[in-house]
Amino acid sequence: MKGHAENVKKYGENIKKYDESMKEYVENMKEYLGNMKKYYENMKKYVENMEEYEEKRRCIGFRTAHIGSRTQKNSDLYPFI
């Protein structure tokens, strides 16, 4: 019987450790979800700002050269691209 009582005691201690670990996990997840919500809100603002920026660029006819675009130098070297 003594061995059984020790096992029950160890089981109770392990349950307490598990409970403490789960509480810490839940708190970490709450923090993580809060951070993800902030990230989402910031990304939403970023996308809105980029859309506004792109709209302003289109209105004034601003264009940027892209990699592989036909700049004057490239068109002189490769007229058939």
Q: Which domain covers residue 25, as residue numbers? A: 2-62
Q: Is residue 74 part of a domain?
A: no
Q: Is residue 9 part of a domain?
A: yes
Q: Is residue 30 part of a domain?
A: yes
User: Considering its fold, how many domains does the chain have in total?
Assistant: 1
Q: Is residue 16 part of a domain?
A: yes
Q: Is residue 75 part of a domain?
A: no
Q: Is residue 71 part of a domain?
A: no
Q: Is residue 81 part of a domain?
A: no
| Global pTM exceeds 0.85 | no
First to last CA, the chain: 88
Give residue 58's region: left, alpha or beta (phi > 0; psi -120 to 50).
alpha
Q: What are the helix (H) ranges across 1-81?
A: 2-60, 72-77
Tokens of residue 37, six digits: 């919500």
Q: Is residue 25 part of a domain?
A: yes
Per-block mean pLDDT, blocks of 10 residues, the chain (81 long) = 88 96 97 97 92 80 56 53 49
pLDDT of residue 7: 93
Radius of gyration for the chain, computed over Cα atoms and rounded to the nearest angstrom: 31
